[in-house]
């Protein structure tokens, strides 16, 4: 089984999980599940980024120590991801001893290789970004990202000689055309590099909440320099060379566009400086936007925002994915996050958008197909699923959809994979509407139609399993195949002809009752 190592960013624990961090994590999870389905040996990693001034500030605001605060907030991420059915194989916290050891070993290596030097730094620092700005980057004297005041920092720092990596990075990009995707994000990264790289300050003396610099106590590493290394820690860098070599050659980072510079410029340079290859691939997704979005009464009642009034515009960071899951169900939320916005582009997030997608695709299409097939199997075939016809006309669309969905997942396009799957659901519903088996007498003709519809449901259950794991298992159960799809692999098991019939088909409550608003 080829290894596939997939990572999400590790999220700051200054705040609770929000729908933006859920967006990345759900997309990563669906991709990880797809890779397991095709037989890859997947290691899917997520975690929390727990050092730095921002965390200390949040802890102080809550009257807690940084450690107590990070323990509490990190647990909220673990719980949230469990609730959203995230199938991560590991969860890394940057305050863990295993991470300290790797940060120190990796940065010591870069130091020994001559790419870290002592210098003095004076600059304007935004605590929220954990980053320095030049005066001309500020907007009205404030941080351009957070609109908050910056502080002047002056300290003795160790610097990473990023400037030495301008040409090596350009060469690396040149010889690895798929290193950063999609293309516009690759071009953005190249633009940064071509614009000239300055050395970066990578340690702090003004703060204690970080990983100590092994060659100079009194300094801790700057939070970004510790955070990026999480990807190595979880791959057993320095402790298990065989596992590390296997995973690192297959490392794929999924990130949001806000952290492109750190991942696509700094990180490959750090890897080169330490004498290891950069990760195999970085996919940069766009942002969920809620520009001017006013929340309806329902959303407030449902607790999507804990406080506030309906007239106020919300930020995406105020929307709780858990409240949305309570309101719509976990799978419908996952489906929305995967289906509505093309990964790689920005897209609008709205309550109305979730409802519209839910009604159109889940209630009217998939839910309807499942319930009408089960009902007619009960009225015409005594509740026992008939076998499908190996030569059915639907076999053609199935092969086409299978190929399209596979190609889409491979190019990080869950939206297209699901769109293709819904073409198949639409074709099966259309077939039933044309043939109207509910009007036929029991017999071979009705059995063939229903067997084919059940076969479509079997294949649909497989194809939606990365996106909606519980719904997939429930359809599998209802069409009489048991509840366990863990041994199912594509493309083999998803080829037309697998539904042998003879199992009991279960009539159940509507999978997705239609919603009014
Ligand atoms: O930057 N739309 O953590 P973070 C889509 N700790 N995705 C969004 C989003 C939005 N509106 N808002 C946030 C950090 N995200 C660092 C990362 S990695 C070594 C260290 C997602 O908590 C997106 O994935 O600020 C973005 O890159 C990430 O959350 C930033 O999370």
**For atom 12 of ligand 1, which residue has the closest CA?**
20
pLDDT tens string 457-489 = 999 999 999 999 999 999 999 999 997 899 999
**Closest of 46, 23, 83, 84 to residue 338, by C-alpha:** 23
Whether ligand 1 lies within 6 angstroms of the CB of 92 is answered as no
Give the atom of ligand 1 at the shortest distance from the alpha carbon of 254.
24
Cβ atoms of 122 and 159 within 8 Å: the answer is no
Q: How many CB atoms lie within 10 A of CB 58?
A: 18
| 3-class secondary structure, 200 | strand
Q: Which of 79-88, 119-128, 273-282 has the lowest mean pLDDT?
A: 119-128
Q: Which of 150-159, 181-190, 303-312, 505-514 has the lowest mean pLDDT?
A: 303-312
Q: In the structure, what pLDDT confidence band is assigned to residue 295 with cuts at 50, 70 and 90?
A: very low
Main-chain phi, psi angles of 214, to 5 degrees: -65, -30
pLDDT tens string 415-461 = 999 999 999 999 999 999 999 999 999 999 999 999 999 999 999 99
Cβ neighbours of residue 281 closer than 8 Å, sequence gap 6 or more: 178, 179, 180, 181, 251, 252, 253
Distance 346 CA to ligand 1 centre (A): 14
Q: Which of 7-11, 138-142, 204-208, 495-499 has the lowest mean pLDDT?
A: 204-208
Give the atom of ligand 1 at the shortest distance from the alpha carbon of 9.
18
Give the atom of ligand 1 at the shortest distance from the alpha carbon of 288.
2
What is the pLDDT at residue 53? Answer: 87
Distance 23 CA to ligand 1 centre (A): 9
Gap between the Cα atoms of 346 and 289, Å rounded: 7
Distance 207 CA to ligand 1 centre (A): 23
Peptide bond into 491 cis (omega under 30): yes
pLDDT tens string 317-335 = 888 899 899 989 999 999 9
Whether ligand 1 lies within 6 angstroms of the CB of 9 is answered as yes
Cβ neighbours of residue 512 closer than 8 Å, sequence gap 6 or more: 329, 332, 358, 362, 363, 366, 367
Distance 166 CA to ligand 1 centre (A): 26
pLDDT tens string 142-194 = 998 888 999 998 888 899 999 999 999 999 999 999 999 999 999 999 999 99
Residue 232, judged by CB atoms within 10 A of its CB (0-12, 13-18, 19+), counts as buried
Average pLDDT, the chain: 93
Whether the pLDDT of residue 305 is over 90: the answer is no
Distance 282 CA to ligand 1 centre (A): 14
Whether the pLDDT of residue 102 is over 80: the answer is yes
What is the pLDDT at residue 302? Answer: 47
Distance 414 CA to ligand 1 centre (A): 19
Give the atom of ligand 1 at the shortest distance from the alpha carbon of 49.
6
Q: In the structure, what pLDDT confidence band is assigned to residue 312 with cuts at 50, 70 and 90?
A: low
Distance 10 CA to ligand 1 centre (A): 8
Token pair 């040409």 is found at 167
Q: Which of 291-295, 410-414, 513-517 has the lowest mean pLDDT?
A: 291-295
| 3-class secondary structure, 219 | coil
Gap between the Cα atoms of 364 and 502, Å rounded: 28
Distance 9 CA to ligand 1 centre (A): 6
Distance 261 CA to ligand 1 centre (A): 13
pLDDT tens string 189-222 = 999 999 999 999 999 887 889 999 999 999 999 9
What is the pLDDT at residue 212? Answer: 96
Whether ligand 1 lies within 6 angstroms of the CB of 288 is answered as yes
Whether ligand 1 lies within 6 angstroms of the CB of 463 is answered as no
pLDDT tens string 224-241 = 999 999 999 999 999 999
Q: In the structure, what pLDDT confidence band is assigned to residue 349 with cuts at 50, 70 and 90?
A: confident
Q: In the structure, what pLDDT confidence band is assigned to residue 300 with cuts at 50, 70 and 90?
A: very low
What is the pLDDT at residue 306? Answer: 45
Cβ atoms of 128 and 145 within 8 Å: the answer is yes
Give the atom of ligand 1 at the shortest distance from the alpha carbon of 289.
11
**For atom 19 of ligand 1, which residue has the closest CA?**
228
Gap between the Cα atoms of 65 and 328, Å rounded: 36
Cβ neighbours of residue 16 closer than 8 Å, sequence gap 6 or more: 73, 76, 80, 320
Give the atom of ligand 1 at the shortest distance from the alpha carbon of 287.
2
Strands, E, within 308-416: which ranges?
Answer: 347-348
**Closest of 186, 180, 184 to residue 252, by C-alpha:** 180
Rounded to 10 degrees, what is the CA torsion of 361, 362, 368, 374? Answer: 130
Cβ neighbours of residue 200 closer than 8 Å, sequence gap 6 or more: 159, 160, 162, 266
Share of the chain above pLDDT 70, in %: 95
Token pair 């340690």 is found at 203
Strands, E, within 208-360: which ranges?
Answer: 220-221, 251-256, 281-285, 288-289, 347-348
**For atom 7 of ligand 1, which residue has the closest CA?**
20
Whether the pLDDT of residue 59 is over 60: the answer is yes
What is the pLDDT at residue 145? Answer: 83
Main-chain phi, psi angles of 46, to 5 degrees: -140, 180
Say what the pTM is.
0.93
What is the pLDDT at residue 316? Answer: 79
Pull the structure tokens for residue 200. 């970066």
Give the atom of ligand 1 at the shortest distance from the alpha carbon of 14.
22
Gap between the Cα atoms of 425 and 75, Å rounded: 39
Strand partners, 284: 255
Distance 171 CA to ligand 1 centre (A): 28
């Amino acid at each position: 089984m080829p290894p596939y190592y997939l990572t999400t960013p590790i999220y700051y624990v200054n705040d609770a999980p929000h729908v933006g961090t859920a967006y990345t994590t759900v997309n990563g999870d669906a991709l990880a599940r797809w890779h397991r389905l095709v037989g890859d040996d997947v290691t899917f990693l997520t975690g929390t980024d727990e050092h730095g001034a921002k965390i200390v500030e949040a802890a102080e605001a809550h009257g807690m120590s940084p450690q107590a605060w990070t323990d509490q907030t990190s647990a909220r991420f673990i719980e949230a991801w469990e609730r959203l059915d995230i199938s991560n194989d590991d969860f890394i916290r940057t305050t863990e001893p295993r991470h300290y050891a790797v940060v120190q070993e990796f940065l010591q290596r870069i130091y020994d290789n001559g790419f870290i030097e002592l210098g003095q730094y004076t600059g304007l620092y935004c605590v929220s970004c954990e980053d320095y700005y030049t005066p001309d980057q500020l907007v009205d004297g404030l941080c351009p990202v957070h609109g908050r005041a910056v502080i002047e920092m002056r300290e003795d720092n160790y610097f990473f000689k990023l400037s030495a990596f301008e040409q090596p990075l350009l060469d690396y990009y040149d010889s690895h055309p798929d290193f950063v995707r999609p293309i516009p994000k690759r071009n953005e990264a190249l633009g940064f590099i071509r614009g000239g790289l300055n050395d970066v300050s990578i340690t702090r003396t003004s703060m204690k909440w970080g990983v100590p610099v092994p060659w100079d106590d009194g300094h801790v590493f700057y939070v970004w320099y510790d955070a990026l290394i999480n990807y190595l820690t979880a791959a057993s860098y320095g402790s298990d060379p065989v596992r590390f070599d296997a995973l690192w050659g297959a490392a794929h980072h999924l990130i949001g566009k806000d952290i492109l510079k750190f991942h696509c410029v700094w990180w490959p340079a750090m890897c080169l400086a330490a004498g290891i290859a950069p990760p195999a691939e970085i996919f940069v997704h766009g942002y969920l936007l809620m520009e001017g979005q006013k929340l309806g009464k329902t959303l407030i009642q449902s607790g999507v925002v804990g406080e506030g009034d309906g007239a106020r515009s919300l930020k995406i960071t105020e929307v709780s994915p858990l409240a949305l899951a309570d309101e719509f169900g976990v799978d419908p939320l996952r489906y929305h996050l995967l289906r509505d916005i093309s990964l790689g582009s920005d897209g609008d997030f709205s309550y109305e958008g979730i409802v519209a997608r839910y009604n159109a695709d889940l209630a009217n299409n998939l839910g309807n197909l499942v319930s009408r097939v089960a009902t007619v199997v009960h009225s015409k075939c005594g509740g026992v699923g008939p076998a499908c016809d190996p030569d059915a006309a639907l076999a053609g669309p199935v092969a086409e959809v299978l190929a399209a969905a596979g190609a889409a997942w491979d190019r990080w396009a869950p939206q297209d994979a699901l769109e293709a799957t819904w073409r198949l659901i639409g074709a099966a519903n259309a077939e039933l509407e044309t043939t109207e088996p509910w009007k036929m007498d029991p017999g071979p003709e009705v059995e063939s139609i229903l067997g084919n519809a059940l076969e479509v449901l079997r294949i649909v259950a497989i194809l939606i399993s990365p996106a909606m794991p519980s719904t997939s298992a429930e359809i599998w159960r209802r069409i009489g195949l048991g509840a366990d799809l863990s041994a199912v692999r594509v493309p083999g098991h998803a080829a037309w002809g697998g539904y042998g019939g003879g199992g009991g088909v279960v009539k159940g409550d509507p999978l997705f009752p239609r919603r009014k608003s």
